Amino acid sequence: MTDTTAPVITPEQMLEQWQGHRRLSRKTIEAFPEDKLFTHTIGGMRPFAELAMEMINIAIPGIEGLVTGKWESFGNEEPPKTKKELLTLWDETTDHINKLWPLLAPERLQVVEKAFNVFDGPNYWTLWYFIDNEVHHRGQGYVYLRSLGIEPPPFWER
């Protein structure tokens, strides 16, 4: 038996995990034809532009909450009207995360807070939730793309 309570993963590695997935999500946005990004759905689900906007609406107040401990609600911004504007917003979010991340005190990741004033949990779990939610919805985007006969970006390339 070994000590399974000795910390091994660094904040830097957590950031790269997040941003690596965000790079793949960006490629997934790019893979959609302009119109299908905003209109194509299956089973009554939201078009991928709305799923991508949810990722942004979580990431922006999410990084703020992680760093400061002041949690706002989820963003409720609507997606912009074009793929180009959505990608611009995506890139601004990337920069925003990278700018704030070095201000995140590592010990804050083990602090328990009510993220977005809704979810009680340690902040590392909340951050994983952001990532998992993105992977989950991006996987759904892959089905949308396949149903349109479009090859999605390779999952293992970040």
DSSP single-letter state for residue 108: G
- How is residue 135 written in tokens? 């992977």
Contact between 42 and a copy of itself (CB under 8 A)?
yes
- Of 2, 8, 21, residue with least CA distance to 124: 8
Nearer to a copy of itself, 54 or 56 (CB): 54
Number of residues that bind a copy of itself (CB under 8 A): 53
Nearer to a copy of itself, 84 or 146 (CB): 146
Task: Give me the residue label for tokens 């490629």.
Answer: 27
Nearer to a copy of itself, 9 or 81 (CB): 9
Contact between 3 and a copy of itself (CB under 8 A)?
yes
Q: Are 149 and 36 in contact (CB under 8 A)?
A: no
Choose which of 34, 102, 114, 120 interacts with a copy of itself (CB under 8 A).
102
Q: How far is the CB of 155 from a copy of itself (least distance, A)?
A: 6
Q: Are 51 and 140 in contact (CB under 8 A)?
A: yes
Amino acid at 45: M
Q: With contacts defined by CB under 8 A, name the span among 55-63, 68-76, 91-99, 129-137 that binds a copy of itself.
A: 129-137
Residues between 7 and 36 with contacts to a copy of itself, criterion CB under 8 A: 7-15, 17, 21
Helix (H) or strand (E) run with residue 61 in it:
helix 48-68
- How is residue 142 written in tokens? 């892959």
Contact between 78 and a copy of itself (CB under 8 A)?
no
